Amino acid sequence: MATTIKISPVTRIEGHLDVSLTVDAVHGVNQVVDARCTGPMFRGFEKILLGRDPRDATHYTQRICGVCPVSHAMASTMTLEAAFNVAPTDNGRIVRNLILGANYIQSHILHFYHLAAPDYIDTTGILDMSPWTPRFVTPDMARGSLAAALVGHYVQALAMRRTAHQMGALFAGKMPGPFSLVPGGTSKAVDGITINNFRNLLTQLRGFIDGTFVPDAQLLFQTFVPYQRIGKGYGNLLAYGVFNQDTAGSARLLASGRYTNGQLQTVDPNQIREYVAYSWYSSASGLNPANGATQPQFGKANAYSFIKAPRYQNTVHEVGPLARMWVNGDYRYGISVMDRIVARAFETKKIADAMDGWLNQLQPGGPAYNPDTTPASATGIGLTEAPRGALGHWIKIANSKIAGYQIITPTAWNASPRDDRGQPGAIEKALMGTPVADLNQPIEVLRVIHSFDPCLACSVHMVRPGRNAQRITMTA
Q: Which residues bind ligand NFE (CB under 6 A)?
A: 14, 65, 67-68, 71, 386-388, 391, 409-411, 455, 457-459
Q: Using the minimum distance from each CB to ligand NFE, give the nearer residue, 108 or 418.
A: 108
- Cα–Cα distance, 341 to 346 (Å, whole number): 9
Q: Minimum Å distance from CB 67 to ligand NFE? A: 4
Q: Minimum Å distance from CB 475 to ligand NFE? A: 26
Q: Using the minimum distance from each CB to ligand NFE, give the nearer residue, 31 or 451.
A: 451
Q: Using the minimum distance from each CB to ligand NFE, give the nearer residue, 427 or 443.
A: 427
Q: Minimum Å distance from CB 414 to ligand NFE? A: 8
Q: Give phi and psi for 89, each to the nearest 5.
A: -70, 165
Q: Using the minimum distance from each CB to ligand NFE, give the nearer residue, 40 or 387.
A: 387
Q: Using the minimum distance from each CB to ligand NFE, give the nearer residue, 13 or 87.
A: 13
Q: Using the minimum distance from each CB to ligand NFE, give the nearer residue, 157 or 368.
A: 157
- In sequence order, what are the beta bridge partners of 310? 274
Q: Using the minimum distance from each CB to ligand NFE, give the nearer residue, 172 or 457.
A: 457
Q: Minimum Å distance from CB 232 to ligand NFE? A: 21
Q: Using the minimum distance from each CB to ligand NFE, give the nearer residue, 121 or 462.
A: 462
- Cα–Cα distance, 285 to 297 (Å, whole number): 13
Q: Minimum Å distance from CB 65 to ligand NFE? A: 3
Q: Minimum Å distance from CB 404 to ligand NFE? A: 19
Q: Using the minimum distance from each CB to ligand NFE, give the nearer residue, 235 or 389.
A: 389
Q: Give phi and psi for 421, each to the nearest 5.
A: -85, 0
Q: Minimum Å distance from CB 386 to ligand NFE? A: 3
- Cα–Cα distance, 163 to 160 (Å, whole number): 5
Whether residue 31 contacts residue 434, with contact meaning beta carbons closer than 8 Å, is answered with yes
Q: Minimum Å distance from CB 458 to ligand NFE? A: 3
Q: Minimum Å distance from CB 318 to ligand NFE? A: 13
